[in-house]
Structure 1
C-alpha cells in the first residue's frame, strides 16, 4: 500500500488523493492574453525529476503541495500551500462581464 502524508490529516492511503497539476507561477491576470492564460491552465512542463505538485485529500477537500520525484514516484515532502502562497490575488471584473444583453 502506498501512503502519502497529508499535512492536515497525517499518513493516508494514496487512493484518498487526487493530483491537481504542477505548481507554477501564475501570469498577471490583468496583462495576459487568452492564449497565454490557456497555456498556464492546461499545459504542464512535464520535466523529469523532482517537481512540486498540487494534491487534494479528497475526503476533506484539503489542497496542499507535494514534492515528488516523477521518475521514481517517491514522495519527498508534503506541506501546506500557505508555505508558498501567502498573498491573495485579486481579479478585476471585465467590463460588461455578467451583464444581460
Structure 2
C-alpha cells in the first residue's frame, strides 16, 4: 500500500484519497469568449509527462481538504506535497 503525505494529517494510505487531476490550472478569464474547441482543450487535454508531475489530491477519508503534490508518473512516488493555498509550483 502506498502512503500519500497529507499536509495536515501526515502520511496515510492511498485508499483515503481521491485524485483531482493536474494542479495549477487556471479557469479561463473570459469563458463566454471560448469556442467549443477551446473548451474541449481546457476540459479534456492535460499534460502527460514521464516524470515529476503536479497533481491535486483530496484527503476524502480524513480531513477532506485539497492539497497539491508532485508525483513521479514513472514510479508513482510522491516527491513533495503542500497545501493548495500555498500556491507553490515545486517540481524537484
Q: How does 1:54-65 map to 2 (within 5 A)?
A: 54-59=56-61, 60-65=63-68
TM-score normalised by length of structure 2: 0.79
The structural deviation recorded for 1:27 is 4.9
User: Structure 1 pair 61/42, CA: closer, same or farther in 2 (3 Å)?
Assistant: farther
Work out which of the two has the higher radius of gyration on C-alpha atoms and give 1 or 2: 1
Query: Any conservation in 2 of the 1:20–1:54 contact (CA below 8 Å)?
Result: yes
Which runs of at least 4 in structure 1 moved beyond 2 Å after TM superposition?
31-35
| Cα-to-partner distance string for 1:12-59 (whole Å, 9 max, x where unaligned) | 111101111112432533143332233222222111110000111112
Give 1:39's match in structure 2, choosing from 14, 38, 41: 41
Match of 1:79 in 2: 82
Report the RMSD for the aligned CA atoms in angstroms.
1.8
Partners of 1:37 and 1:26 lie apart in 2 by 13
Q: Which has the higher contact order (CA 8 A, sep 6+)?
A: 2
